[in-house]
Amino acid sequence: MEEENNNIVENVLAEEANNNAESTIKIADDVVAVIAGIAVSEIPGVASMAGGFAGGITEVLSGKKNLSKGIKVEVGEKDTKIDVNIIVEYGTRIPDVAFEIQNRVKKAVESMTGLKVLEVNVHVQGVNTVVEEDKKDNIKSNEDNNN
């Protein structure tokens, strides 16, 4: 009787293993790209994402911010590789910004998707040197006060 119960349990476990082996979850590249894009957008020192012409047109036509702009993703069965193209703010320390991007993107993608992040490559495409109007006004008012 005990041997018969063991056989039944073994058959049920084998059947569950077969069912699990046949079931798969495929996460689209775009999903991983959006997760990475949101993580990058929260990092101080990142002026914007450096995307191609198509990404800019998509934003204009849809009226929505393209959260995956500047991000290239390769998703495998259990892992992923991510390339991030950014423009940094002038005056920020680029290695620190890049390191923070790598850490936050890896953490966000792994925790939300269960995929192992093999690489997060950061490509700095430019430096934003545009001074905001508020900063210009502050500089001008300080100059006026000094005279």
Q: What is the pLDDT of residues 18-36, one digit of tens each?
A: 555 567 888 899 999 999 9
DSSP alpha helix (H) spans, 25-132: 29-41, 53-62, 94-113
Q: What is the CATH number of the domain that holds 61?
A: 3.30.70.1350
Any idea what DSSP says for residue 13?
H
Has residue 3 been placed in a domain? no
Whole-model pTM above 0.85? no
Reply yes or no on whether the pLDDT at 51 is more than 70: yes
Rounded-to-integer distance, Cα 56 and Cα 51, Å? 7
Has residue 45 been placed in a domain? yes
- Count Cα neighbours of 56 within 13 Å in the Cβ-side half-sphere: 6
In which domain, by residue range, is 79 found?
A: 26-146
Residue 43 has a pLDDT of: 95
Helix (H, G, I), strand (E, B) or coil at 92: coil
Q: One-letter amino acid identity for 64? A: K
Structural domains counted in the chain: 1
- Token output for 122: 């950061």
Q: What is the pLDDT of residues 77-136, one digit of tens each?
A: 899 999 999 999 999 999 999 999 999 999 999 999 999 999 999 999 999 998 665 555
Helix (H, G, I), strand (E, B) or coil at 108: helix
Please, are residues 66 and 103 in contact by the beta-carbon 8 Å criterion? no
State what percent of residues in the chain have pLDDT above 90: 52
Has residue 127 been placed in a domain? yes
Q: What is the mean pLDDT of residues 48-74?
A: 70
